[in-house]
Amino acid sequence: DADVTQTPRNRITKTGKRIMLECSQTKGHDRMYWYRQDPGLGLRLIYYSFDVKDINKGEISDGYSVSRQAQAKFSLSLESAIPNQTALYFCATSELAGGSNEQFFGPGTRLTVL
């Protein structure tokens, strides 16, 4: 089974709708991240969380909100979706400290806002 899972994998929605993307991990990591990727570009950080009580804005947080329901779960919400939020969204996790501090990514959610 995958260590980092994202649901849904694909979603088409309409402008103005509220949508939630979910991320779950079984790696036992404290840190979780949400990124978006637009065609031909690298990933950009939306929000990140270093533990259940910690939420931080990333580079492009406007129009998004997050919830860290538990160590293993980190959800991304679009309160009122707009077409320029059409993108590929990735969740990632990493250990709090030590080791290589590498991030482990989920398979991605392809979101289309019409």
Partner 1 sequence: DAKTTQPTSMDCAEGRAANLPCNHSTISGNEYVYWYRQIHSQGPQYIIHGLKNNETNEMASLIITEDRKSSTLILPHATLRDTAVYYCIVRVAIGGSQGNLIFGKGTKLSVKP
Backbone phi, psi, residue 84, to 5°: -75, 5
Q: How far apart are CA 42 and CA 20, in angstroms?
A: 23
Q: In 3-state terms, the chain is what percent helix, strand and coil (to 5)? A: 5, 55, 40
Residues in contact with partner 1, counted by CB under 8 A, come to a total of: 28
Q: Spell out, one character per residue from 42 to 81, where the chain touches partner 1: x when CB under 8 A holds, - when not.
A: xxxx--x-x-----x-x-----------------------
Stretch touching partner 1 by CB under 8 A, among 10-18, 63-71, 72-80, 105-113: 105-113
Q: Which range in 12-20, 64-72, 74-82, 100-108 contacts partner 1 by CB under 8 A?
A: 100-108
